[in-house]
Structure formats: structure tokens, C-alpha cells
């Protein structure tokens, strides 16, 4: 390495580039659905791509998924996100910054979630709208060397 033992700047650049590429892929995935105002959280198309699109758009309806297409305003959370970024704070902690471009969350979800078979009510009177917010999550991390017996990622790996 050209920087001696300190590879932090290289790691940050690499991880942010990877995060940026994943976000761009998510934006493209979300773009294929157009400007829909409803979502079917049980549909095979949605389920097959929900994690691919989650860095750009996320929906949450509670512990019980509604049947069929529901208006996004009736979800407990609906949001679109800008490009995320990662900053290292110290040797074992990082901050993940997420830009909440627009959407809403239900301000009384925790009390509703304890109700059996809770379903969001039409009208969404408990929604709190957001636009242009940035939130940060402080995350602990550690580095490990991994080696494996298989060329497939995540198979038969053990810590050295």
C-alpha cells in the first residue's frame, strides 16, 4: 500500500463506492415501477426485488401484510432515499448517513403494533410527512480475515 499501515481512506473510498453503486442499482429498480401510488407487498414481483430496491425506496405495513394493492399513504412507513454515505468515526465505529428525500411514518405505530391484526386505516391521519431529512446511525464494526473451502461467497467460511 502506498499509505503504509493506514488504509482507512482507501477503505472508506471503496465502501462508499460500493454503497453508491448499490444505491444507483436500487434507483434504477424503483424507476421501472413509475410513479405508482399503490403497492402490493405480497406480489412475487415486489418480494423478488424488495431488497434490491431498499436503498432507494422502502415500505413497511406492520407485522401483517395487507392483501392486494394498498395506497402508500396507508402504510406505516413509506420513503424514498437519496445516496447514502459512510464515515468512519474511530477505529471501531462508523456513521451511516441516510437521506430521506420524502415519505411518511406513522407516529403511533408502536401502540398500534400491539393490537392483534392491526391494519392501517384509510385517511392516514397519524402520518408524519418528511422531506429532505438526513439521519445518521452509529455502527460498530470489526475487521476479520476469512478463508474458505469453497469458491462460492459465504459458503464454508471460517474465521482465521
What pLDDT score was predicted for residue 125?
Answer: 77
Go through the chain and tell me how many residues it has: 160
In a domain, 118, yes or no: yes
Q: Is residue 3 part of a domain?
A: no
50: in domain = yes
Does residue 112 form part of some domain?
A: yes
The domain of 18 spans 8-159
80: β partners: 57, 102
Cell of 136: 445518521
Helix, strand, coil shares of the chain, percent, nearest 5, are: 25, 35, 40
Joined together, the cell numbers standing for residue 39 give: 403497492
| Spatial CB neighbours of 43, under 8 Å, sequence gap ≥ 6 | none
* Number of domains comprising the chain: 1
Q: What is the pLDDT of residue 61?
A: 85
Indicate whether 43 belongs to any domain. Answer: yes
Confidence band of 124 (pLDDT split at 50, 70, 90): low
SS3 of residue 55 by DSSP: coil
pTM for the model stands at 0.74
Q: CA nearest 45: which of 59, 29, 58, 61? A: 29
Q: Residue 30 domain-assigned? A: yes
The H or E element spanning position 41 is none
pLDDT at 122: 44
Does residue 1 lie in a domain region? no
Who wins on pLDDT, 100 or 142? 100
Per the domain annotation, does 2 fall within a domain?
Answer: no
Pairing of strands 85-90, 93-106: antiparallel
Helix (H, G, I), strand (E, B) or coil at 44: helix
pLDDT per position as a tens digit, 18-46: 999 999 999 998 987 777 889 999 999 88
Amino acid at each position: 500500500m502506498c499509505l503504509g499501515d493506514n488504509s482507512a481512506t482507501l477503505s472508506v473510498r471503496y465502501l462508499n463506492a460500493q454503497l453508491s453503486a448499490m444505491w444507483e442499482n436500487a434507483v434504477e429498480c424503483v424507476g421501472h415501477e413509475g410513479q405508482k401510488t399503490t403497492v402490493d407487498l405480497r406480489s412475487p414481483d415486489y418480494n423478488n426485488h424488495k431488497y434490491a430496491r431498499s436503498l432507494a425506496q422502502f415500505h413497511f405495513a406492520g407485522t401483517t401484510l395487507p392483501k392486494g394493492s394498498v395506497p402508500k399513504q396507508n402504510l406505516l412507513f413509506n420513503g424514498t432515499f437519496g445516496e447514502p454515505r459512510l464515515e468512519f468515526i474511530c477505529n471501531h465505529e462508523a456513521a451511516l448517513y441516510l437521506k430521506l428525500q420524502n415519505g411518511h411514518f406513522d407516529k403511533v405505530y408502536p401502540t398500534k403494533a400491539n393490537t392483534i391484526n392491526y391494519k392501517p386505516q384509510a385517511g392516514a391521519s397519524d402520518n408524519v410527512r418528511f422531506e429532505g431529512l438526513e439521519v445518521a446511525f452509529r455502527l460498530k464494526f470489526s475487521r476479520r480475515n476469512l478463508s474458505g473451502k469453497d469458491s462460492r461467497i459465504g459458503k464454508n467460511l471460517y474465521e482465521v
